[in-house]
Structure 1
């Protein structure tokens, strides 16, 4: 018998949609993803940050990685037994890796809002730009679970 009770108790939260690499596709990614994030009732601030990051990554896929006739995919998932939110945007331009150089500041925003982010290559010709947030502080329980965790204890200075 498998004793991974955290994974058994955590709901399987996953959303994925394939969209055209156009401004309309990027807008739909933001709207559909934002609605799903709100429905998942994530910890305070995480859904807003993920929505901004998802919008930026979808816009980058539509503007900088556009290949006529090839779509991009947005995926949201809660992984690691409910401990991590992951946003992924996959496009078909593995030859064009993200860059933080001007004129755009989009990846600076991603870096500021996400707990961590990166790029995964493959299978050819795809690349996936991803961002993650911890939903549970290390060594703490789930916020609002009644167990250890929730808000940090106040410290007196």
Structure 2
């Protein structure tokens, strides 16, 4: 059993990769995140929530944030038994907005799916484009 002092001494873990914005690389980014989360020993329930957030944000970056000649980037930070922070950055300056989709619509629910498991999320400007950040508690 971990004590409070054990948790305080757990290392901060980070992972970051860039991908060209293609549907195939969206799959690769999700797979990479899944493997890293498992290797970090993130609890199953938290891991599944993080995988959902990564999946939705990466899909948005590929579908809506694509800029010719530019990559998107996925980063995660695990604050040992506290939280997992997720960042997906792309070169498009257009900010995502939560939608209120028609019940018959086949898309438009991505940010609603991010909001459910994430304790918080926000859009951050960067030099070129934006970063969508979310935090999932462990």
Gaps of 5+ in 1: 136-157
Which residue of the partner structure matches residue 73 of structure 1? 73
Tell me which of 109, 133, 141 is aligned to 2:113: 109
What TM-score, normalized to structure 2? 0.85
SS of the residue 2:131 aligns to = strand
Which structure has more relative contact order (CA 8 Å, sep 6+)? It is: 2
SS of the residue 2:116 aligns to = helix
Gaps of 5+ in 2: 102-106
CA shift digits 1:115-136 (9 cap, x unpaired): 111111112x22100110223x
1:35-46 → structure 2 map (5 Å cutoff) = 35-46=35-46
Which has a greater percent of helix?
A: 2
Q: Which moves more between the two structures, 126-135 or 48-57?
A: 126-135
Are the aligned partners of 1:72 and 1:91 in contact in 2 as well (CA < 8 Å)? yes
The number of aligned residues is 128
- Distance in 1 (CA, whole Å) between partners of 2:43 and 2:7 is 18
- Distance in 1 (CA, whole Å) between partners of 2:47 and 2:26 is 18
What TM-score, normalized to structure 1? 0.75
Which has a greater percent of strand?
A: 2
Structure 1 residue 11 displacement after superposition: 1.7
